[in-house]
Amino acid sequence: MTPSLEVRGLAYAYPDGTQALYGVDVTIGRGERVALLGPNGAGKTTLVLHLNGILHGGLGEVRVGGLAVDPKDKKSLREIRRRVGIVFQDPDDQLFMPTVREDVAFGPANLGMRGAELDGRVESALARVGMLEVAGRPPQHLSFGQRRRVAVATVLAMEPEILVLDEPSSNLDPASRRELAEILLGLDVTVLMVTHDMPYAAQLCPRSLILSGGVIAADAPTADLLTDEDLLRAHRLELPFGFDPAAARR
């Protein structure tokens, strides 16, 4: 089966000369849930921004469901942007319409979807994140946790090949954090989740990557990574007080 994501030899320097990625190789199979861990400045967001061609121009290649990300080919880039659903850290970066319904409809409508088909797509995306009842409200009137869920719905409405979440649990209260975990566990989609929340990685992702200094420093079952104290220390990763990573082993 074609993997959802293949990254080969990806290297990238920002225009000011800062080298952020030094040759990243990652393959994620269809239906996998993978956490992307790593200290501040490791290159996680830089990697994510390559997955749908927002950043490009370095070395290496990215394929999504077998299709190469080619920023020069506008038609294939549209398809890549449908296949890669990125939920940004700040939901306000992706919600801008007068109502929640219009925000969720925006992407599929852009693809030409109309009428009952569009309505059905919007309702099912909102239902999957438990936000159907706020469909008619302005996104700005929702709580932060509700807006994050709606942001997930905007991406699900595109029926992506891979759902990429940048810090999904940040700024959520414990109940919202748990509810989002339940939603993500219930989705039948490939997930790549950038997070500093180790218990979240342990709960949601059987496999984790450590990106450190622009290279993949580890790629293993999450419980193995989180119980390797030397590895964690080497990459400035710390477990929260009282959290037992061995409990994550099933």
Rule CB under 6 A: which residues touch ligand ATP? 14, 16, 18, 20, 38, 40-46
16 interacts with, out of Mg ion, ligand ATP, none, CB within 5 to 8 A per kind: ligand ATP
Write out the two tokens for 92.
């306000």
Which entry of ligand ATP, Mg ion, none binds 188, CB below 5 to 8 A by partner kind?
A: none
Sheet holding 59-64, edge to edge: 19-28, 5-13, 59-64, 67-68
> Is 27 a binder of Mg ion (CB under 5 A)?
no
Applying CB under 5 A, the span of 24-32, 45-53, 114-122, 234-242 interacting with Mg ion comes to 45-53
Q: Which is nearer to ligand ATP, 46 or 94 (CB)?
A: 46
Smallest gap from residue 55 Cβ to Mg ion (A): 12
The item of ligand ATP, Mg ion, none sharing an interface with residue 18, based on CB under 5 to 8 Å by kind, is ligand ATP
Which entry of ligand ATP, Mg ion, none binds 14, CB below 5 to 8 A by partner kind? ligand ATP
Q: Judging by DSSP bridges, how do beta strands 190-194 and 33-37 pair with one another? A: parallel
Choice between 30 and 56, CB closer to ligand ATP: 56
Contact 214/44 with Cβ under 8 angstroms? no
Are residues 155 and 163 in contact, defined by beta-carbon separation less than 8 angstroms? yes
Instruction: Please report how close the Cβ of residue 194 comes to ligand ATP at its closest, in angstroms.
Output: 7
The answer to whether 45 contacts Mg ion (rule: CB under 5 A) is: yes
Q: How many CB atoms lie within 10 A of CB 185?
A: 11
Secondary structure class of 217 (helix, strand, coil): strand
Residue 41 CB, nearest approach to ligand ATP (Å): 4
Burial of residue 8, with CB atoms counted within 10 A of its CB: 0-12 exposed, 13-18 middle, 19 or more buried = middle
205: alpha, beta or left? (left if phi > 0; alpha if psi -120 to 50)? beta
**Which residues bind to Mg ion, rule: CB under 5 A?**
44-45
